[in-house]
Amino acid sequence: MGPAPVVIGVDPGTQHTGYGIITEQEGQPVALEWGVISPRPSLALPDKLQTIYTALHACLETHHPDTFAVEELFFAKNVRSAVTLAHARGVALLAAAAVGLQVVAYSPLEIKQSVVGYGRADKRQVQAMVQVLLNLRGPKPAEDAADALAVALCHLHGWRLRLAFDRSRASHRRS
């Protein structure tokens, strides 16, 4: 494996879509940018989706990430909320496809386990650990941005494990 990938994590939603772009430098995860896309509440759903797509696409064109990481869809009790979330997730996936990005998805349990060490962690715990792991100064990132950074961290942790495994396997072959 080559240099550390640049990973964008996305936490989609029609009210707030969080995004976070990270990489690794000198063995440490580093946040390059993060934020929240918040379409105006008065917009119709198609216009909200256009806002999300346009902002994500611009971010992808600026940072040229290697991988697009997103949370898997989960079954919600509220069908209307689940369908609305699916719209936002679809637009996010479309933005990734438009620039030819590899998309990976992780369950909420995997993400929390990877970042906090506990799969049932709450949002505040995720937010706090993201701040610690990325050595972010100042106030904690907004919940949606922290969730997106957590998705990206989950993927980066997996990349590190695959890299270590490949190195170990290669050294055993030479022995």
**Domains of the chain, residue spans:** 7-174
Residues with Cβ within 8 Å of residue 143, at least 6 apart in sequence: 18, 123, 127
Q: Quick one: pLDDT at residue 139?
A: 86
Answering whether pTM is above 0.85, one says yes
**Is 34:149 a contact under the CB 8 Å cutoff?**
yes
Q: How confident is the model at residue 38 (pLDDT cuts 50, 70, 90)?
A: very high
Q: In this predicted structure, which of 64-68, 76-80, 93-97 has the lowest mean pLDDT?
A: 76-80
CATH (residue range 7-174): 3.30.420.10
Active site residue 144: yes
Q: Quick one: pLDDT at residue 175?
A: 61
pLDDT at 45 over 90: yes
Active site residue 47: no
Q: Quick one: pLDDT at residue 159?
A: 81
Choosing from 11, 26, 143, 147, the catalytic residue is: 11
Q: How confident is the model at residue 2 (pLDDT cuts 50, 70, 90)?
A: low
The percentage of the chain sitting over the pLDDT mark of 90, rounded to a whole number, equals 75
Mean pLDDT of the chain: 91
Choosing from 26, 47, 66, 71, the catalytic residue is: 71
Choosing from 66, 144, 147, 166, the catalytic residue is: 144
Q: In this predicted structure, which of 46-50, 99-103, 161-165 has the lowest mean pLDDT?
A: 161-165
Chain-centroid distance of CA 27 in Å reads 19
Q: Quick one: pLDDT at residue 3?
A: 81
Active site residue 71: yes
